């Protein structure tokens, strides 16, 4: 029977002694043919298992190698060694799974993140990635808890869709055709009417449009699922497959939307600080070591935990896109041409370097930018009275730039169809979406938060590929 084991995390937290337990886990190290460092994934802390000299058969001891899986029965006793209060005096050691020490890639030494990406199927066994994915779990749980406690309905929006919510066109197409011989029209174009769904379909880039449909009946809904972008960006900030959190709320304006997004971010960070203290302390130390390798001017002014506490204890700075452009244009960074993309005119799309300057150099806190030029934003955003801007908002975070993008949605049918026509978006194909503006439309708003960027922010990891178990990037779909 295997469900009678005790997790190492529980043993360490308990600290009581002189009782019998069964533990199971993987060997991190085995020294002096006597001391086994055992880890079961519940915590980064290992349990020292003492195999008394002369008590165990030599054939068993030879199989206790790094990576091997063990079942150990014994007594928890006070530890005489440094660094731990308890240890397990083994009565019985059973080898559940052998590990060839010479072939096992994770030796007891420091490995580079680049190397670990190549063996992503094993990197969960390192302290860094075990901590990251426990934190990721807690963040995901906190997302559901936050919205559930507020009375939101969790909605599953489709993975396969015929719409392009963003109008960007960077989509993965879904087809059942024989790619060497697809059905064709007379003019030689592909006849999607003969395909599985009877029309051209793709993997979703967002669940927002479907979320709006539900919000027009259920009032407060949210989605939390995978989204896909066929954007050929091989950078530390982009993934082809990532997870999005997208709430949609009826009877909300832009200010309500900003208030909810700020409250949401603070809540889930606070929840994780309270529930993953050990993991965050480990990741904070890891980041501090990494920072020491950087030039002084590139180092963060705050440690990881200090930064997270600062975010939850301070109001986010709010300003318009126009005000931000003025700050950037007048900055020494811009005047001395330190930006790769210089700010010259109103209306340009802000790059990550601009967003990070505002957050890290100018305000030194998270920033919410509002009222962007309509020409650089999606068709569904509510047009402001000035005719030039839309009621959009982005939240910018230290270290990564944009973490949230949202807006008040355009509820006026004539304004929405006019904008769709301007942007050459088919009102016929999205007629189902327009019905929400024909039958009882109300002011409503929503936002999208890229979950991996949130995990990056909370864990201090600089590469987005290190916060998702199996990253999907250009030319890479391993495991």
What pLDDT is stored for residue 399 in this prediction?
Answer: 82
Helix 208-218 vs helix 431-438: crossing angle, to nearest 10: 30
Strand partners for 21: 74
Does 98 lie in the same domain as 232?
Answer: no
Strand partners for 48: 37
Q: Are strands 153-154 and 389-397 parallel, antiparallel or unpaired?
A: unpaired
The whole-angstrom separation of Cα 467 and Cα 168 is: 25
What pLDDT is stored for residue 373 in this prediction?
Answer: 97
Token code pair at residue 432: 């189902």
Tell me whether residue 99 is in a domain: yes
Last residue of a domain, one of 109, 141, 162: 109
Does 429 lie in the same domain as 292?
Answer: yes
Segments forming the whole domain that contains residue 96: 8-109
Does 74 lie in the same domain as 39?
Answer: yes
- Region 339-350: what's the mean pLDDT? 93
Tell me whether residue 179 is in a domain: no
Its sign, for the CA torsion 369, 371, 374, 377, is positive
pLDDT band (50, 70, 90) for residue 295: confident
To the nearest whole number, what is the mean pLDDT of the chain?
93
More confident residue, 234 or 271: 271
Contacts (Cβ under 8 Å, ≥6 apart) of 122: 105, 106, 116
pLDDT at 1 > cutoff 70: no
399 with 458: CB under 8 angstroms? no
Does 267 lie in the same domain as 400?
Answer: yes
The whole-angstrom separation of Cα 174 and Cα 189 is: 17
- Percent of the chain scored above 90 by pLDDT? 85
Per-residue pLDDT tens digits for 24-52: 999 999 999 999 999 999 999 999 999 99
Does 152 lie in the same domain as 67?
Answer: no
What pLDDT is stored for residue 195 in this prediction?
Answer: 92
- Region 427-448: what's the mean pLDDT? 96
The whole-angstrom separation of Cα 394 and Cα 470 is: 28
Tell me whether residue 182 is in a domain: no
pLDDT at 302 > cutoff 90: no
Tell me whether residue 219 is in a domain: yes
- Region 379-391: what's the mean pLDDT? 96
Contacts (Cβ under 8 Å, ≥6 apart) of 5: 22, 23, 24, 40, 71
CATH number, domain with residue 249: 3.30.930.10
Does 220 lie in the same domain as 98?
Answer: no
Token code pair at residue 193: 């009417």
Strand partners for 88: 49, 76
What pLDDT is stored for residue 167 in this prediction?
Answer: 60
Per-residue pLDDT tens digits for 70-89: 999 999 999 987 778 999 99
- Residue 291: CB atoms within 10 Å: 15
Contacts (Cβ under 8 Å, ≥6 apart) of 348: 325, 341, 376
Per-residue pLDDT tens digits for 110-149: 899 999 999 999 999 999 999 999 999 999 999 999 999 9
CATH number, domain with residue 59: 2.40.50.140
- The pair phi, psi for residue 422, each rounded to 5°, is -60, -35
Tell me whether residue 180 is in a domain: no
Does 129 lie in the same domain as 105?
Answer: no
What pLDDT is stored for residue 419 in this prediction?
Answer: 95
pLDDT at 169 > cutoff 80: no
Let me know if 179 is exposed, middle or buried by CB neighbors in 10 A (0-12, 13-18, 19+): exposed
226 with 207: CB under 8 angstroms? no
Tell me whether residue 184 is in a domain: no
pLDDT band (50, 70, 90) for residue 172: very high
Does 302 lie in the same domain as 245?
Answer: yes
pLDDT band (50, 70, 90) for residue 166: low
pLDDT at 401 > cutoff 90: no
How many domains does the chain divide into? 2
Does 86 lie in the same domain as 129?
Answer: no
Tell me whether residue 3 is in a domain: no
Tell me whether residue 150 is in a domain: yes
Helix 451-459 vs helix 254-275: crossing angle, to nearest 10: 50
Does 54 lie in the same domain as 94?
Answer: yes
pLDDT at 164 > cutoff 80: no
Does 103 lie in the same domain as 67?
Answer: yes
Token code pair at residue 300: 């963060």
What pLDDT is stored for residue 282 in this prediction?
Answer: 96
pLDDT at 168 > cutoff 60: no
3-state helix, strand, coil split of the chain in percent (to 5) is 35, 25, 40
Q: Give the three-state DSSP class for 5.
A: coil
Does 103 lie in the same domain as 212?
Answer: no
pLDDT band (50, 70, 90) for residue 298: confident
458-to-271, 273, 467, 475 alpha-carbon distances in Å: 11, 9, 10, 28
Give one DSSP letter per residue of 112-154, joined into a string. Answer: -HHHHHHTTTTGGGSHHHHHHHHHHHHHHHHHHHHHHHTTPEE
Token code pair at residue 123: 């990197």
């Amino acid at each position: 029977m295997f469900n009678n084991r005790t997790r190492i995390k529980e043993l360490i937290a308990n600290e009581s002694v002189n009782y019998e337990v069964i533990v199971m886990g993987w060997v991190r190290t085995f020294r002096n043919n006597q001391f086994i460092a055992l880890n079961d994934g519940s915590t980064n802390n290992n349990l020292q298992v003492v195999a008394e000299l002369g008590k165990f058969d030599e054939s068993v001891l030879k199989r206790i190698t790094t990576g091997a899986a063990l079942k150990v029965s014994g007594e928890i006793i006070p530890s005489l060694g440094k660094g731990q209060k308890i240890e397990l005096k083994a009565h019985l050691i059973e080898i559940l799974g052998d590990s060839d020490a010479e072939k096992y890639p994770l030796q007891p030494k420091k490995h580079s993140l680049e190397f670990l990406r190549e063996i992503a199927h094993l990197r969960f066994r390192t302290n860094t990635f075990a901590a990251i994915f426990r934190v990721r779990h807690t963040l995901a749980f906190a997302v559901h808890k936050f919205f559930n406690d507020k009375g939101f309905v969790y909605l599953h929006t489709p993975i396969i869709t015929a719409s392009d919510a963003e109008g960007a066109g960077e989509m993965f197409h879904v087809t059942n055709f024989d790619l060497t011989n697809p059905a064709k029209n007379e003019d030689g174009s592909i006849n999607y009417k003969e395909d599985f769904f009877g029309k051209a379909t793709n993997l979703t880039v967002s669940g927002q449009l479907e979320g709006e449909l539900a919000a027009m009946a259920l009032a407060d809904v949210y989605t939390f699922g995978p989204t896909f972008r066929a954007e050929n960006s091989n950078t530390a900030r982009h993934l082809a497959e990532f997870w999005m959190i997208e709430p949609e709320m009826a009877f909300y304006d832009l200010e309500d939307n900003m208030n909810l997004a700020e409250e949401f971010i603070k809540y889930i960070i606070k929840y994780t600080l309270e529930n993953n203290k050990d993991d965050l302390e480990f990741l904070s130390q890891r980041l501090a070591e990494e920072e020491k390798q950087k030039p002084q001017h590139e180092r963060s002014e705050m440690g990881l935990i200090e930064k997270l506490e600062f975010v939850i204890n301070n109001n986010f700075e709010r300003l318009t896109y126009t005000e931000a452009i003025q700050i950037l244009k007048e900055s020494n960074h811009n005047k001395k041409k330190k930006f790769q993309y210089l700010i010259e005119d109103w209306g340009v799309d802000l790059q990550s370097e601009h967003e990070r300057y505002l957050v890290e150099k100018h305000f030194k806190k998270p920033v919410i930018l509002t009222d962007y030029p309509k020409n650089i934003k999606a068709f569904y955003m509510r047009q402001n009275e000035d005719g030039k801007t839309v009621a959009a908002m982005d939240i910018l975070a230290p270290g990564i730039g944009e973490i949230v993008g949202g807006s008040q949605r355009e509820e006026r049918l004539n304004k929405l169809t006019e904008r769709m026509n301007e942007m050459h978006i088919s009102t016929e194909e999205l007629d189902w979406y327009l019905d929400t503006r024909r039958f009882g439309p109300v002011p409503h708003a929503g936002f999208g938060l890229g979950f991996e960027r949130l995990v990056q922010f909370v864990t201090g990891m600089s590469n987005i590929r290190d916060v998702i178990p199996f990253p999907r990037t250009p030319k890479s779909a391993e495991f």
